[in-house]
Amino acid sequence: MSLLKTFLKDYIYIPSRYFRNQRILKRDCAPTTLIVRGKKMASRLCFNIGFLIVASVGLLHGAYAANTYTVGGDLGWIVPPNNTYYEEWTSQRTFQIGDTFVFNWTTGTHTATEVSTKEEYDNCTKMGMILAFAGVKVTFNENGTHYFLCSEGTHCEQGQKMIIKIGDGIPPSFAAPSLTAAAALSALFFSTLAIFFLN
């Protein structure tokens, strides 16, 4: 029997003037009992819908969390094999507010120095905020362009510098939610429906 027929058969009171046999569909129930059952069912439905909304918001929030990048990927923050390595690395990514950048190096002496202007960046000016230890993490909380270079020797002139452009504040995953989040949301929806109909 379909769920709708079961629901109508067990929980709906239909006035007797519309039917020949003049009775309540569930024989052992009085009309007041049916009203109480209807309220309980409505209350359960509201609870399940509320739970689904809260869980969905929680899943979506996790889906749009900020990213952590190791600057330079597997190469890390060292003198690169060519002058355009870090430019190419940043051009393949979109950075957003809240993203964290890890300046990591395992060999040699390096710094991650943030300079203020494009001119200082282009000229490898070695004055700015110097972060001088490996594994330093930098998180950006507002839009803008940030210029980093290594202030050791001629590392900057050899290409150890990069420009980080922080986007418009909308996480890239907002436009295209991850498949994992979509699958989790779908599973949550169907499990909530199952709970609702089993109760």
Q: In this predicted model, what pLDDT tens digit does every residue of 155-177 receive, in sequence order?
A: 999 999 999 999 864 554 444 44
My answer on whether 165 and 79 are in the same domain is yes
Structural domain boundaries, residue 56: 1-63
The verdict on residue 73 lying in a domain is: yes
Residue 92: inside a domain:
yes
181: in domain: no
Same domain, 102 and 143: yes
At 114-164, the pLDDT tens digits run 999 999 999 998 888 888 788 899 999 889 999 999 999 999 999 999 999
Surface-to-core class of residue 164, CB atoms within 10 Å of its CB (0-12 exposed, 13-18 middle, 19+ buried): buried
Whether 58 and 83 map to the same domain: the answer is no
Q: Are residues 7 and 76 in the same domain?
A: no
Tokens 């739970």, residue located = 51
Q: Give Cα separations from 64 to 57, 170, 171, 172, 177 (angstroms).
A: 11, 9, 6, 8, 8
Do 74 and 140 belong together in one domain?
A: yes
How many folded domains does the chain comprise? 2
